[in-house]
Chains A and B, each alone.
Chain A
Amino acid sequence: MGDWMTVTDPGLSAESQNISLYTSETKMSPSSLYSQQVLCSSIPLSKNVHSFFSAFCTEENIEQSISYLDQELTTFGFPSLYEEPKSKEAKKELNIVAVLNCMNELLVLQRKNLLAQENVETQNLKLGSDMDHLQSCYAKLKEQLEASRREIIGLQERDRQLQCKNRNLHQLLKNEKDEVQKLQNIIASRATQYNHDMKRKEREYNKLKERLHQLVMNKKDKKIAMDVLNYVGRADGKRGSWRTGKTEARNEDEMYKILLNDYEYRQKQILMENAELKKVLQQMKKEMISLLSPQKKTPRERADESTGAVISDVEEDGGELSRESMWDLSCETVREQLTNSIRKQWRILKSHVEKLDNQVSKVNLEGFNDEDVISRQDHEQETEKLELEIQQCKEMIKTQQQLLQQQLATACDDDTTSLLRDCYLLEEKERLKEEWSLFKEQKKNFERERRSFTEAAIRLGLERKAFEEERASWLKQQFLNMTTFDHPNSENVKLFSAFSGSSDQDNLPVHSKQRQKKPPSTSNGSPVCTSKMTKSLPASPTLDSCQTRSCVSEHSSVSVLTVTPEEMKPDQVGRECTSQTWSVVSRPGAQPGCSVDAL
């Protein structure tokens, strides 16, 4: 039985063994069964009471236990353990198959239950953790709630306090206002009182003064006197005149004369000013007329009736004015005419100017639409130029700063050196500076050249390698060709593709190869270049680019010579590459040129 179980269900073998053990030894694991019993059977069986405490099945009670089990199982819907009794008298036989089936079913059930239990447990765990989480969340939220509640309370408290304060302040303000009002009233009353008092005092004072005056005057004060040696003549040499009505009238006359003179003087001034202003006005008018006359036609053509009428009016006015010299007439007669005409003309001028403005704005708009591209191009060019200039200037400033710093650094260490430095003439210094900058420039150039040379050397190595490979392949090809002279074209293609793949890196060896082909030219070229550079341009990059370009052109010519459809692709690539190098190189090439200009 055990074997069979192991074969049928290996997973359950252990349990089945257990069960088999239990069945063989008629012992059961008490705890599990007990629990099962407790769980499954609600009705305790008095028969089996004793077996609960020892064992379920013993040698003596096999039958009972079987029957009990049968009963139990049937209640749970399992088929009966006993075979169908053939007759009523016949003793019930234990059906082993049914038992086994039942067992299996039970086991399956058990497993399912276990699984379910596990699931439930995990779910329980999950739920527990969820619960925990939720609880913590809840706690947190509660705290938050508490905090916000507290905050709200605090704010409410503050609000209340502020309101309280506000109320107090309002009260205070009111009090202050009242106070101010009171004080103002007090001030007003004081002022009136003061004025009153003042008047009273002044009256008293006046009375006292009067009294004093009387006293002083009435008492024949001998002291009040003038002691003169002899009276002197009047400044104007005339004798003093008696005071009469005549003199009074004369004084009046004189006063009015003076006033009249003053007014006359002022009138004259005003007249002069007026004349000046009139002159200006006339001139303005004339100029306006002359300004407007050439444009008279255009507004008329535009069929602007009113302006036309006004202009004709103006013309008439102008004619009249010019015919009669009305400027000398008094202002009132001329004023209206003049102001009117001026106003009209001014209006015309204004409208004209406005029209012009509109036109200009329109033209501007149109012009912008038309010449947008060009202007932008110009603009961009200009900005580029300016940027370049700025960069150059910056560089210059930097170099100058460096120079200055160097000078300072070299000069600041010793008194003697400073003295010596002072000994230098300014010109000399200037010259040295120039030389220094030149030297720096040269140095830079040399650096650049050296870099280019190292690059060239690297390239040369690469090229050599490529060349070696090429040679090997060529030899191979030749060797093959010696054997078969069939496909020269395909061979050629192959050869090309071998060293001029499609990437830039592969292109470089080609160029270097071309260079390698004519080393004397480069060796000749570089010294010439450096000699040039000392003077003006550090042109090594451009030189390089030139060479590459020539190489490429050669290369392309080669490619053209060997016309194959596949060739086009690499050729195009090569061209692109060269154009790239051009674009890259041309910029630094232009830059030093400009900087030299600036220097």
Chain B
Amino acid sequence: MNFSEVFKLSSLLCKFSPDGKYLASCVQYRLVVRDVSTLQILQLYTCLDQVQHMEWSADSLFILCAMYKRGLVQVWSLEQPEWHCKIDEGSAGLVASCWSPDGRHILNTTEFHLRVTVWSLCTKSVSYIKYPKACQQGMAFTRDGRYMALAERRDCKDFVSIFVCSDWQLLRHFDTDTQDLAGVEWAPNGCVLAVWDSCLEYKVLLYSLDGRLLSVYSAYEWSLGIKSVAWSPSSQFLAIGSYDGKVRLLNHVTWKMTTEFGHPAAISNPKTVVYREVEKSPPPGLGHLSLPPSRAGARPLTNAAASESKYEVASVPISLQTLKPAADRANPRMGVGMLAFSPDSYFLATRNDNIPNAVWVWDIQKLRLFVVLEQLCPVRSFQWDPQQPRLAICTGGNKVYLWSPAGCVSVQVPGEGDFPVLALCWHSSGDSLALLGKDHFCLCFLETSKDVGAAFGRRDSCT
């Protein structure tokens, strides 16, 4: 495992291009595009203000930079550096901006969710979509980029509009039986749309592409409901994480619950492997000798977050650290707030927000808990390798954690000073990983998939 040098970054804006060739990152008002293999700067664009949002177009030809404060979007072309495009939303303001899947349209959501403006880069045409709903996830594109589902709110009722992305024609428009729609998400096959209600009510509605209601699912009533939703990449399962600390899997045939995964703080099943991160006290004498003396001197050994750690397999009847949520506050820290299927749909990684230090990995084939990783610090984010079942986790410390069915490893990010990893994103090939800190980022190059198994055996934090 190798690490690149550290580059500057702001607002955690660092993204690999979809084709995997480039890496774009923002530093204040500058947009830097690098070559992924050499990390040399290919292009440097200067925006009008500090960039707040940055996004690659699907064909990796354009980069969108949004400056919400000024209601501006600037688009840059990679092929033609001199080409520029500036979209000003004017007095309507701007709160969100994104690419359409074809990479030729930009969808801007104005302030107060007055409308969604669809700007085309090909023609002068501008389309407006009125009444978009201000919600958690009100817009969703199908995986193939053909259709867009948009949550709308008119006359105190929720609606969903399905648009054809090629010409922004309204295909279907239907009301949903929700109190307060919170999100929409397409199944990866693009034929089923999951719509869920806000956390006040546990309700999932499943619509076909043509607007037919396929099924309604509600696990319970009178309690805080859905917190997160994720489709399995095979479209076979819909995982619903809720405030009761459970994940429910719906199957795609009957849309009934296949199983539910509880997240108890006490793990007693001996088949479950519990990896526990423990601080590794620096070995006296021998440990120092193996390191280069200069580095050993430079490393701040006093910092607890910087100290090395390793995983230990905990003996199984074990209880995890729990957080007592404040029941009288809004958005209590409880329930399953993070859900992610591995790309091969074999595993599901979850985090229960009142056990923030633990990542739960479920075996979807056997429908049971497979592994629990208990970290020293609360898990900030995790992401699956797009190519294989390999999970990268960060906790805001200077370490990155990798799990695969073969085992797990804690890797310290080298470098002077502290490098708290706040977010991470995988390269599409799964060979490298961008680790994003508050002001810096670096790349972590993993061994090719052949010798991954060997790499997991040993721990190597050196550059």
Contact = CB atoms under 8 A, between A and B. Distances in A.
A224 interface: yes
A585 to B, nearest CB: 51
Interface stretch (A12-20, A208-216, A326-334): A208-216
Contacts of B130: 213
A262 B189 contact: yes
Nearest to A224: B90
A229 B209 CA distance: 37
A260 to B, nearest CB: 10
Contacts of A243: 167, 169
A115 to B, nearest CB: 90
A556 to B, nearest CB: 68
A209 B125 CA distance: 24
Interface in A173-224: 198-199, 202-203, 206, 209, 212-213, 216, 219, 221-224
A559 B156 CA distance: 123
A361 interface: no
Contacts of A212: 112, 114
Given A251-B164, A258-B190, A224 B122 contact: no
A258 B123 contact: no
A243 B119 CA distance: 16
B344 interface: no
Contacts of B58: 235
B154 interface: yes
A226 interface: yes
A230 B209 contact: no
Contact of B59 (A228, A235, A240, A262): A235
Interface string B103-134: 11000001011110001111111100010000
Contact of A259 (B84, B89, B122, B210): B210
B92 interface: yes
B191 A262 contact: yes
B85 A227 contact: yes
A209 B114 contact: yes
Given A240-B122, A255-B210, A259-B209, A216 B114 contact: yes
Contacts of B84: 227-229
Interface in A312-340: none
A230 to B, nearest CB: 7
B156 A241 contact: no
B59 A213 contact: no
Interface string A245-273: 00110011011101100100000000000
Contact of B156 (A199, A221, A248): A199
A35 to B, nearest CB: 99
Contacts of B87: 225-227
Contact of B167 (A216, A219, A232, A241): A241
Given A223-B91, A224-B88, A247-B167, A202 B156 contact: yes
Nearest to A208: B112
A235 B166 CA distance: 11
A198 B180 CA distance: 11
A104 to B, nearest CB: 106
B28 interface: no
A221 B88 CA distance: 10
A274 to B, nearest CB: 13
Interface string A451-471: 000000000000000000000
A135 B376 CA distance: 80
A53 interface: no
Interface size bracket, B side? 35 or more
Contact of B104 (A222, A232, A241): A232
A485 interface: no
B191 A259 contact: yes
B112 A209 contact: yes
Contact of B171 (A199, A223, A227, A255): A255
Given A227-B86, A255-B210, A233 B171 contact: no
A230 B83 contact: yes
A231 interface: yes
A234 interface: yes
Contacts of B208: 259
B181 to A, nearest CB: 13
Max chain B Cβ within 10 angstroms of own Cβ: one of A226, A256, A259: A226
B167 A240 contact: yes
A232 B121 contact: yes
A223 B84 CA distance: 17
A237 to B, nearest CB: 11
Contacts of A256: 210
Contacts of A233: 122
Interface string A504-537: 0000000000000000000000000000000000
Contacts of A223: 88-91
A203 B104 contact: no
B154 A206 contact: yes
Contacts of A254: 146, 164
A216 B117 CA distance: 13
A226 B87 CA distance: 4
B156 A216 contact: no
A219 to B, nearest CB: 8
Interface in A295-309: none
Contacts of B89: 223-224
B328 interface: no
B175 interface: no
A243 B120 CA distance: 15
Contacts of A258: 146, 190-191, 209
B167 to A, nearest CB: 6
B254 to A, nearest CB: 12
B123 A240 contact: yes
B82 interface: yes
A235 B102 contact: yes
B368 to A, nearest CB: 23
B110 to A, nearest CB: 8
Contacts of A203: 155-156
A198 B198 CA distance: 15
Contacts of B88: 223-227
Contact of B82 (A216, A229, A248): A229
A234 B122 contact: yes
A235 B122 CA distance: 9
A59 to B, nearest CB: 122
Contact of A251 (B171, B189, B191): B171
Given A240-B123, A252-B171, A229 B85 contact: yes
B384 to A, nearest CB: 25
Contacts of A198: 156
A221 B122 contact: no
Nearest to A199: B156
B250 to A, nearest CB: 16
A303 B204 CA distance: 60
Contacts of B113: 209
A228 B169 contact: no
B82 A231 contact: no
A248 B164 CA distance: 10
B86 A226 contact: yes
Nearest to B145: A235
A229 B121 CA distance: 10
Interface string B127-162: 000100000000000000011000001111000000
A226 B126 contact: yes
B124 to A, nearest CB: 7
A438 to B, nearest CB: 41
Contacts of B83: 229-230, 232
10 contacts: A198-B156, A199-B156, A209-B114, A213-B130, A226-B85, A226-B126, A228-B121, A234-B102, A236-B102, A259-B208
Closest 9 CB pairs of A and B: A223-B90, A224-B90, A262-B191, A221-B90, A227-B86, A228-B85, A251-B164, A226-B87, A199-B156
Given A229-B84, A241-B167, A262-B189, 19 more contacts: A198-B156, A203-B156, A209-B112, A212-B114, A221-B90, A222-B90, A223-B90, A224-B88, A224-B90, A229-B82, A229-B83, A229-B85, A230-B83, A232-B83, A236-B102, A240-B125, A251-B167, A251-B171, A258-B190
